Structure 1
Amino acid sequence: MSQFAINLLFVGASFALYIGIAIWARAGSTKEFYVAGGGVHPVTNGMATAADWMSAASFISMAGLIAAGGYASSTYLMGWTGGFVLLAMLLAPYLRKFGKFTVPDFVGDRFYSSEARLVAVICLITASVTYVIGQMTGAGVAFSRFLEISNTAGIWIAAAVVFLYAVFGGMKGITYTQVAQYVVLIVAYTIPAVFISLQLTGNPIPPLGLFSTHVESGLPLLQTLDQVVRELGFQDYTADVDNKLNMVLFTLSLMIGTAGLPHVIIRFFTVPKVADARWSAGWALVFIAMLYLTAPAVASMARLNLYTTIYPEGPTEPALAYEDRPEWIRTWEDTGLIRYEDKNEDGRIQLYNDSPEFAPTAAERGWEGNELTVNSDILVLANPEIANLPPWVIGLIAAGGIAAALSTAAGLLLAISSAISHDLIKKTLKPDISEKGEMLAARISMAGAILLATYLGLNPPGFAAQVVALAFGIAAASIFPVLMMGIFSTRMNKYGAVSGMLAGLLSTLFYIFTFLGFFFIPGTNLLANIPENWLFGISPLSFGAVGALINFAVAFAVSSVTKPPPVEIQELVESVRYPKGAGQAVDH
């Protein structure tokens, strides 16, 4: 059986499973469409949350970014996992106790204002649409390679599959589909990593293999990788970060962005009890850790495998002849995600850091520029082929990469759909709409969101994980602070909430546009800007944390000079955090 047939078998079987589950769990009411009827078990919800969370950025792009950036890119791991601790301790149980369907629903009722609800809808849609770009981009990469079609056709197929199971199944269908997708993606991610760890280090556990001895060189794996990248003009893989402020802000931005992501928060409305919301977050962390502990090993081993493929005798020896390139390079060249240009016309593949600092060394070797461009998003998907693993492993990772992109895309699209149909139409524009009419509006909204996501996926502004990082910044600056203040501050009023959200959102978007250039220019590399252009060295990807501080400061300043919330709202806030009668003396 050919590799294409195996890929088609794995991907087709997974699609049949997802669509079958959606048909079985089709939503019959708005409550089932928005929150799966509110009866999902915490373990099931934790697994679905993990799948919702571990997007194309986590499965496809994160390891690629770590492979390219080394230690500096470990902030993605720290920020994304740390955010779930904040979510479990500070937000999930209280939001569940409040008993609303969506984030704007909470904001509108807590701040007794349709204006606050509308601003929350705008913030939610801005963050979610930015996030979904990365999912559609990742799906296009996976489809184009494994089904041997164009990137454009791959994105359209992804949109069609999501439409089939998300529009009809709603949250109920998405929840059980995501459980299946989690199983597919974690198996697909782990099995190739085990094979590669065994090949390179003899250790079958990838996180331990990362710190084991490299079989061929006899040195620790990371030391071997440092030597190879240094010979090719790159910074040491384990090198420390110069800009500590930016690293801290980026990690914080990802953390509070995680805690403010609407498609993750909405999952905690699907469980029966308040305690289940906290347990769901805990189980989600367990399931996420299975992948996140493996990702650094996958990243380092992928980069080492790539360089040893191009320089089989070592980086100081002649590179691989282009005519002798392995089949996996030929295959990925067809997708346009690997490009070769023979700049010195020697017929060999020179892959090195094409920088002024390394230029004299490159000239001594007869090199006239880096000749191989490798899209970071392909490394995880190409890893099994680079390591010559069995064809069924390649088919498995194809299904896993597509599952990761589709699971998060479905959750994001549901969040967008719910905001439009429930918060904008039902709660603001047409309060008397029937449940049947609201269901129709929800499905039409989701269909429209899928079309918009498809268009933006066809014209992405950067690597999947980089675009996702921007979405986290937007969520951190606009949504997280208003949720925190809504739960923990009885003095926060509607004027402060609206002013804070707008200040956080607009300042973050202004910084992104100013220091990142025109955001929606296709092919823009979000990490390519010169750091000296950044204010105090703060990357646009890190500014969400600053935007959150601006949000908090403006909100408290405005609230302090305007009248406090009504007494019943203050009592509501107290009742959400403290059980009725808590702290009262009991006579015996």
Structure 2
Amino acid sequence: MDVQTWTFILVGGTFALYIGIAIWSRAGSTKEFYVAGGGVPPLANGMATAADWMSAASFISMAGLISFMGYDGAVYLMGWTGGYVLLALLLAPYLRKFGKFTVPDFIGDRYYSNTARTVAVLCAIIVSFTYVAGQMRGVGVVFSRFLEVDINVGVYIGMALVFFYAVLGGMKGITYTQVAQYCVLIFAFMVPAFFISFQLTGNFIPQLGFGSEMSDGTYLLDKLDQLHKELGFAEYTSGSKSKLDVFAITLALMVGTAGLPHVIVRFFTVPKVKDARISAGYALILIAILYTTAPAIGAFARTNLITTVSDKEYSAMPEWFSNWEKTGLITYEDKNKDGIIQYVGDKEANELTIDRDIMVLANPEIAQLPNWVIALVAAGGLAAALSTAAGLLLVISTSVAHDLIKKQIKPDISEKQELLWARIGAAVAVVVAGYFGINPPGFVAAVVALAFGLAAASFFPAIILGIFDKRMNKQGAISGMVVGITLMLFYMIKYKLGGFGGGTAEDWWFGISPEGFGTIAMLVNVVVSVVVSRMTPETPEDVQEMVESIRYPRGAGEAHSH
């Protein structure tokens, strides 16, 4: 069977599974819609968290980034995995004990102020939309190649699907769908990795194949460095970023992870505080399977790509090449009119442009793996993008229904009406997300990295100081969040989108890239918060007591409802 038939079978089959699960686990109450009724077992929650967390950026873009950036791509690995450890140790158990549905809910109650709650809702919506734009784009890329439709049509199909199970099932539907999506995603990522690792190095395990010798006796990474040098690219294993920038990006990604609203809310879905820690542990192991394989896939894909296209006749290119050309993600311009592809580091002479986002998806085709493996990767990429998109849409809809309408505009609203508002919020969010998917600001992983910067600059200080600093009051938290997110947005618009007169890499403050600037904005947020809170009235007694009780594990076995 050809690739397209296999794709229809595998993608269709997985979609039918997701929709079936959504119908089976429809949410009947707001508690089920927001936190799946608080009764998800730790292993299932660990799998759902891993799927929620590993977005299209992890599945589609990260190995692609590493395969083009080489050593510099490691910041994504370190930042995204490290952030998880931070989340499990510093935030998850305390927030679970606090027992709220959403991050703005925690901030509104901890800072005894609706202004703080509203600022948090705005930050949650900005972060989630920046992030979801990347996911929808990923969905479009996969559909456009494998179902041979226009990228925009692909985005529409993705919107329809997410709409269906996020709006119907809420958190309960999403959780069990994500368990299925994790299984599809990890299987789809690992199968081609095993095949290609064996093909190139004779070692089945990609993590070991990455450091092994190839059939001609040279080490894989030496061979890659050699290929890069011959073609005039920067050496694969050496970095070009400054140490400070690498540190800033890694920290921004770590802290951003710990402030991401759609990941934090997963810890409210388990029965006990202890379960929050256990499920974070499971999630870390499940995520590590993919993350330790990504650098290997990046190196394999890069080696295969260079040996397939460099100095070869354009007319003799294999079928996968013309298939990706149709999507516009590979373009070839014959500058010297000799019909031979020049793929070199010199921008003037280079004739081939390749979108980084296709590396993982095209990898099995370049390596000539069986058709069912190629289709499996398409199903995996969609599972990754859709699971994260659903989690983010839920954050947007709960922020609107629970934190704006129920807590502020209409406190006497009935549960049925609140559920209706949550569903309307999700529906509007899907439409906006689709718009961003069709007009995306940059490629998937870069957009996602900016979302982490925004989360780091706004939420993280308010949450961490809210747990560990009793003296932190509403004035401090509000001014910190506003200053942090404004600074980050300004920097992002100026250096990434060319607003405010634009600027080049030479003009970066302290030489820190927009992806790493979240670290600076976060530090400014912390300073502003602490200084303002020390100059304004003390936190009320009852709030100080509440902060005490979150930190001490009295009766930590049960979650008290305050």
TM-score by length of 1: 0.93
Report the CA distance between 1:88 and its aligned residue.
Answer: 0.4
Determine the C-alpha separation between the residues in 2 that align with 1:566 and 1:168: 41
CA deviations on 1:244-289 (whole Å, 9 max, x unpaired) are 0000000000000000000000000000001111111111001000
CA contact (8 A) 2:245 2:513 kept: yes
Which of residues 336, 340, 343 is equivalent to 2:328? Answer: 336
Distance 1:197 1:530 in 2: 39
Aligned equivalent of 2:39 = 39
> Aligned residue for 1:165?
165
Partner SS state of residue 203, structure 2 = coil
User: Which of 501, 505, 527 is the matching residue for 2:485?
Assistant: 505
Quote the residue 1:455 is aligned against: 435
Structure 2 partner of 1:490:
470
- Within a 5 Å distance, the mapping from 1:231-380 to structure 2 comes to 231-311=230-310, 319-355=311-347, 369-380=349-360
2:509 to 535, 539, 546: 535
Distance in 1 (CA, whole Å) between partners of 2:241 and 2:306 is 26
Equivalent residue, structure 2, for 1:225: 224
1:517 offset after TM fit, Å?
3.0
Query: Residue 358 of structure 1 corresponds to which residue in structure 2?
Result: none
Name the aligned partner's letter for residue 292 of structure 1. Answer: Y
1:430 corresponds to which of 410, 421, 426: 410
Q: Distance in 1 between matches of 2:490 and 2:471?
A: 29
Query: 1:145 Cα shift?
Result: 0.7
Q: Distance in 2 between matches of 1:197 and 1:76?
A: 22
1:163-242 equivalences under 5 Å are 163-215=163-215, 217-242=216-241
Cα distance between partner residues in 2 of 1:46 and 1:580: 25
Residue 353 of structure 2 aligns to a residue in which SS? strand
Deviations 1:33-53 (A, max 9, x none): 000000001111010000000
Mapped pair 1:573 → 2:547: yes
Q: Where does structure 2 lack aligned partners over 5 or more consecutive residues?
A: 557-562
* Equivalent runs, 1:532-571 vs 2, <5 Å: 532-571=506-545
Counterparts in 2 of 1:116-155, with a 5 A limit?
Answer: 116-155=116-155
Cα deviation code 1:6-65 (max 9, x no counterpart): 111000000000000000000000000000000001111010000000000000001110
Task: Report the secondary structure of 1:373's partner residue.
Answer: strand
CA distance in structure 1 between the partners assigned to 2:454 and 2:346 by the alignment: 33
Q: What is the CA distance between 1:518 and its match in structure 2?
A: 3.8
Q: Check the 8 A contact 1:107/1:117 in 2, yes or no.
A: yes
Using the TM superposition, give the Cα deviation of residue 242 of structure 1 relative to its aligned residue in structure 2, in angstroms.
4.4
What amino acid is the match of 1:532?
Answer: E
Distance 2:17 2:52 in 1: 17
- Written as runs of structure 1 = structure 2, the 5 A alignment for 1:394-409 is 394-409=374-389
Correspondent of 1:410 among 390, 393, 400: 390
User: What letter is aligned with 2:331?
Assistant: R
- Partners of 1:277 and 1:493 in 2: CA distance: 27
Q: Shift in Å at residue 2 of structure 1?
A: 2.3
The aligned amino acid for 1:63 is A
The alignment's C-alpha RMSD in Å is: 1.4
Shift of 1:564: 0.8
| 2:538 aligned counterpart, secondary structure | coil
Query: Letter of the aligned partner of 1:231 in structure 2?
Result: E
- Residue equivalent to 2:559: none
Question: How far apart, CA to CA, are the structure 1 residues paired with 2:499 and 2:437?
Answer: 13
Residues in 2 aligned to 1:505 and 1:102: alpha-carbon distance in whole angstroms:
19
1:439 is aligned, of 398, 402, 419, to 419
Q: Secondary structure at the match of 2:539?
A: coil
SS at match of 1:294: helix
Alignment check: 8 A CA contact 1:36 1:172 kept:
yes
CA displacement at 1:579 relative to structure 2: 3.3
Q: CA deviation at 1:519?
A: 7.1
User: 2:451 pairs with 471, 475, 482, which one?
Assistant: 471
Check conservation: 2:70, 2:239, Cα contact below 8 A: no
Query: Is contact 1:35–1:172 with CA below 8 Å preserved after alignment?
Result: yes
Partner of 1:362: none
**Partner residue in 1 for 2:77:** 77
How many angstroms apart in 2 are the aligned matches of 1:346 and 1:326?
A: 18
The alignment-based identity, stated in percent, is: 63
1:199 positional shift = 0.6
Distance in 1, Cα, partners of 2:138 & 2:555: 51
Code of the residue aligned with 1:544 in structure 2: it is G
User: In structure 1, the residue corresponding to 2:331 is in which secondary structure?
Assistant: strand
Q: Is the 8 A contact 2:103 2:265 kept in 1?
A: yes
Q: Distance in 1 between matches of 2:2 and 2:497?
A: 45
Give, in whole Å, the separation in 2 of the partners of 1:140 and 1:309. 26
Alignment-derived partner of residue 67 in structure 2: 67
Question: Following the alignment from structure 1 to structure 2, what is the Cα–Cα distance between the partners of residues 70 and 498?
Answer: 40
- In the alignment, the residues of structure 2 paired with residue 176 and residue 499 of structure 1 have an alpha-carbon distance, to the nearest angstrom, of 39
Native 8 Å contact 1:206 1:297 kept in 2: yes
Question: Do the aligned partners of 1:461 and 1:519 also contact (CA within 8 Å) in 2?
Answer: no
Quote the Cα distance in structure 1 between the aligned partners of 2:156 and 2:555.
Answer: 55
The corresponding residue for 1:17 is: 17
Q: Is the 8 A contact 2:495 2:504 kept in 1?
A: no
**Separation in 1, partners of 2:540, 2:237:** 55
Q: CA deviation at 1:530?
A: 4.0
Alignment of 1:47-66 (within 5 A): 47-66=47-66
Report the AA paired with residue 227 of structure 2: V
Secondary structure at 1:27's aligned position in 2? coil
Q: Which amino acid aligns with 1:36?
A: A
Relative to structure 2, which stretch is displaced further, 235-244 or 439-448?
Answer: 235-244
TM-score (norm 2): 0.97
CA distance in structure 2 between the partners assigned to 1:436 and 1:354 by the alignment: 62
* Distance in 1 (alpha carbons) for counterparts of 2:555 and 2:122: 38
1:503-553 deviation line (CA, Å, top 9, x unaligned): 110011111112223479xxx9xxxx7421211110001001111101100
Partner of 1:314: none
- Aligned to 1:339, the other structure's residue is in SS state strand
Contact 1:479 1:501 in 2 (8 A): yes
Q: Is there any run of 5+ residues in structure 1 with no aligned partner, and where? A: 312-318, 356-367, 583-588
Aligned partner letter, 1:25:
S
Q: How many positions carry a matched residue from both structures?
A: 555
Q: Give the distance between the partners of 2:306 and 2:507, measured in 1 at CA.
A: 32
AA aligned to 1:392 is W
1:551-573 Cα deviation digits (max 9, x unpaired): 10000000000011100000000
Whole-angstrom CA distance in 2 between matches of 1:134 and 1:519? 20
